[in-house]
Chains A and B, each alone.
Chain A
Amino acid sequence: MTAPLLQLRDLRVHFRTGRGGLFRRRRILEAVGGVSFDIHRGEVLGLVGESGSGKSTIGRTLTRLERPTGGEAIFEGTDILALTARAFRPLRRRIQMIFQDPFASLNPRLTIEQTLAEPLFIHRLARDRSEARDMIAETLELVGMDPDAMKRHPHEFSGGQRQRIGIARVMIVKPRLVIADEPVSALDVSIQAQVLNLIKKLQRESGVSMLFISHDLGVVRYISDRIAVMRRGKIVEIGDRNRIFDSPRHDYTRRLLASIPRLPPAPN
């Protein structure tokens, strides 16, 4: 078996709460308290937990939006947490993030073409504008959008379309690892299904590895190969998708599963 794409070892992230003061001690909040897991090539690891469990902090640490207190993340042989910002730059393309609200991460002044061309020039994936335009058109089609969309601005699109654009921006640079943090949570259920199908299809076709973070157990089951259940900064249980859902070992996992509103069987 080949080495995992990512080996996370004993990740710790502490936050200081408040500024403290003359009479008030600063408190240290342990957002992530020693988390380890592997993500293999072509694998989707689902990270599920309730609010405040630390699942998003892990994703943000791996894209270096958050500084860890300790631990290592060996990605293709390099500990990316130990790198300087400069040394990390060449790796940035390979680890990409999809956010819950793509609108907040799209520049409202730029056309979709300008937005998607930016990473192509930064990472030197396109030589000139016409090559970039071809790649953008191809990627927009890949995410189920009309290539004409490239002439328009983010506000002209619905939530589902914006998330497709967010996915296009990630996929266009051909990453090795995608971190998706609640990518469908803000979408209506009928649109959510379209975007989930798209993410699954693109993941299968490209073979990209994925850390899929969500509070929704059904969504995580649909997309993941393996699942880690988090609570209060720690992983309480990790295993194959069906094992977690069919024979959960930890009390907390059982309680989570028992809390999901039961849906009647799908109509045939």
Chain B
Amino acid sequence: MALLEVRDLGLAIAAGGRLLPVVRGISFAVEENETLGIVGESGCGKSLTALAIMGLLEDTAIRITGGSIRFEGRELLTMAPAERRALMGNRMAIVFQEPMTSLNPVYRVGDQIVEVLRQHRDLSTSEARERTLRLLEMVQVPEPEQRVHSYPHQLSGGQRQRVMIAMAIACDPRLLIADEPTTALDVTVQKEILELLQDLQKRMGSAIVLISHDLGVIAETCDRVAVMYRGTIVEEATAGELFANVAHPYTRGLLASIPPADRDVEWLEAIPGRVPAVDQEIPGCAFHPRCPFVRDLCRTARPEGRDFAPGHSIRCHFPREWRT
């Protein structure tokens, strides 16, 4: 049994009496000790999927239209709110892109970590304080005894993200979701934070879902990768298999769009056009209007998910067309 199992999850935006689908029946699973990367451009539904798993879509315009999310064998979508809240920050936790907006600006960072601990663990004040210092050491915040007294604005962006990670791992979560955790950071700090996440995972044996728009970040840190386009997982495989054997034209287009730092290229092979608006229905394959290898079938029939190679699934009628 996988730690987290998402089946046919559908999400839609409620707008003007209509429900506009934004996540169109996606399925994936994450095991303990595994890092799953979800990559895609803005609007593909990757962050909404994370919020749905964490139960953070209440009081938003997003509706869950179907599917199931099972965590440690239990269905989350039908769970009583109080029970679900007890899991959050405890068995499962999330780290967001901008720690400044997730940390409370008027409380010292140490007190914020203590609060998480006391909410989920029966700890005395001194035990919670002790544990907070150990957590800040684990995420390599220098001089934790001084830093616990700092307010969020007194820390650098990288330090704030370390504090957010300390809060997220405070109760030894089995699942950690990291939504663009390094996007706001400089590249040298990004490297440190990604290494920290990998190191923590090794020590804690938890599962990580890393959400990013950056294929480089995903390639360096993930065991398995799911590529999303317009609410659908279009390709999924282990990182090694995916990058050695890219089969979906969208994944290929994303890779070719990135200007490489390790060699010269004259022109980038950009994907033409742009992602259609949410309220636009695209018949057939959602990527067909931008696909350089489009054929008639793609315009009418939505491709079903199927195995392209062992452990490598794909939604495309004509994978790897560029090879023929």
A62: min CB distance to chain B, Å = 24
Contact B187 A218 (CB under 8 A): no
Report the nearest A residue to B187, measured CB to CB: A259
Q: Which residues of B contact A258 (CB under 8 A)?
A: 191
Tell me the bound Cα distance from A152 to B216 in angstroms: 37
Contact B219 A190 (CB under 8 A): no
Q: Per-residue 0/1 for B248-261: is the Cβ within 8 Å of any A Cβ (1 yes, 0 no)?
A: 00001111111111
Interface majority SS (helix, strand, loop, mixed), chain A: helix
Q: Which residues of A contact B322 (CB under 8 A)?
A: 267-268
Contact B259 A196 (CB under 8 A): yes
Number of A interface residues, CB 8 Å? 38
Report if A107 contacts B (CB, 8 A): no
Tell me the bound Cα distance from A262 to B255 in angstroms: 12
Q: Which residues of B contact A191 (CB under 8 A)?
A: 274
Contact B41 A188 (CB under 8 A): yes
A121: min CB distance to chain B, Å = 32
Chain A residues with a Cβ under 8 A of chain B? 50-51, 158, 160, 188-194, 196-197, 200, 215-219, 221-223, 241-242, 245, 255-264, 266-268
Tell me the bound Cα distance from A219 to B265 in angstroms: 11
B68: min CB distance to chain A, Å = 30
B8: min CB distance to chain A, Å = 27
17 A–B contacts, CB within 8 A, in A order: A188-B41, A188-B213, A189-B41, A191-B274, A193-B258, A193-B268, A193-B269, A194-B272, A196-B259, A196-B268, A197-B267, A217-B187, A221-B259, A245-B261, A259-B188, A262-B262, A267-B322
Chain B residues with a Cβ under 8 A of chain A? 41-42, 186-188, 190-191, 194, 213-217, 219-220, 243-244, 246, 252-262, 264-265, 267-272, 274-275, 322
Contact B257 A50 (CB under 8 A): no
Set A200, A241, A260: member contacting B187, Cβ < 8 A = A260
Contact A263 B274 (CB under 8 A): no
Contact B267 A200 (CB under 8 A): yes
Q: Which residues of B contact A215 (CB under 8 A)?
A: 186-187
Contact B191 A259 (CB under 8 A): yes
